[in-house]
Chain A
């Protein structure tokens, strides 16, 4: 079964600094990969997804992620953090040839320091 590991349950960065949130998956066949953001008491919003095209994926709000098969990773980055980026971020996968159910990591809470 697929699993997703997010290193660091809490990450703090200063406003304007680089944001790096880590995600690794376990699968011999690269899955579809996603990053979702969740603001307090709200549902999840898709930031970006990797299906099978370019390995560098650009998403909303200035976020991007790079799929690295050799490292089984899909880390999320943003060059310059904004106060509004403070939220919970979830990495998730969908197995290829599966039923398209999402398997989520445990999440990373991002705090922005003014």
Chain B
């Protein structure tokens, strides 16, 4: 069990640029979640996948955000035309059907200048 990994750990970008984050879940986990955490707040749900199917998207996920999990393994989260308000920690978590536990990765901290 190598845990959930995320890459990169830190990303600094200029407003208007596109960024992509990667999440590798624990290998036998079929569920994958993305959350966003801003300073002083708890994480907020963005979207989740069961295998390769994206089953729910939060209203927080504007049209500039897109997430994929093409083969039901790793996932990517892309933000297009970044804005300063996108600055946050982006957390990925994975889990298994019927097991009420999500394992979190270390997060990707995004800073938009």
What's the Cα separation between A41 and B106 when bound, in Å? 8
Is B35's beta carbon under 8 Å from chain A?
yes
Known: A51-B100, A94-B100. A101 touches B42 (CB 8 A): no
Flag whether A83 is at the interface (Cβ < 8 A): no
* A100-B95 in contact given A43-B105, A44-B104, A49-B100 (Cβ < 8 Å): yes
List B residues 81-111 near A (Cβ within 8 Å): 91, 93, 95, 100-107, 109
Bound-state CA distance A100–B104 (Å) is 14
Report chain B residues within 8 Å CB of A42. 106-107
Say whether A101 contacts B101, CB under 8 Å: no
Is the Cβ of B100 less than 8 Å from the Cβ of A90? Answer: no
Once the chains bind, are A99 and B55 in contact (CB under 8 Å)?
yes
CA distance A88 to B56 in the complex (A): 28
Question: Which applies to chain B's interface (DSSP): helix, strand, loop or mixed?
Answer: strand
A87 CB, min distance to chain B CBs, angstroms:
14
With an 8 Å Cβ cutoff, the count of chain A residues facing the other chain is 24
> Contacting B42 at CB < 8 Å: which of A32, A94, A100, A105?
A105
Report the Cα distance A105→B42, complex, angstroms.
Answer: 6
The verdict on B48 contacting chain A, using a C-beta distance below 8 Å, is yes
When each residue 55-72 of chain B gets 1 if its CB lies under 8 Å from chain A and 0 otherwise, what string results?
110000000000000000
> Given the interface contacts A42-B106, A46-B101, A51-B100, does A104 sit within 8 Å of B95 by beta carbon?
no
> Is A77 close to B, CB under 8 A?
no
B21 adjacent to chain A (CB < 8 Å): no
Q: Could you tell me the distance in whole angstroms from the C-beta of A94 to the nearest C-beta in chain B?
A: 6
On whether the beta carbons of B43 and A101 are closer than 8 Å, the reply is: no
Contact among A4, A49, A104, A107 with B101 in the assembled complex (CB-CB below 8 Å): A49
What are the residues of chain B within 8 A of A107 when measuring CB–CB?
40-42
The answer to whether B106 touches A103, judged by C-beta atoms less than 8 angstroms apart, is no
Query: Chain B contacts of A4 at CB under 8 A?
Result: 42
Excluding A99-B48, A102-B102, 7 further A-B contacts by CB distance (< 8 Å) are A41-B106, A49-B101, A51-B100, A100-B100, A105-B42, A106-B42, A107-B42
A residues sitting closer than 8 Å to B (CB atoms) are: 4, 9, 32, 36, 41-46, 49, 51, 90, 92, 94, 99-107
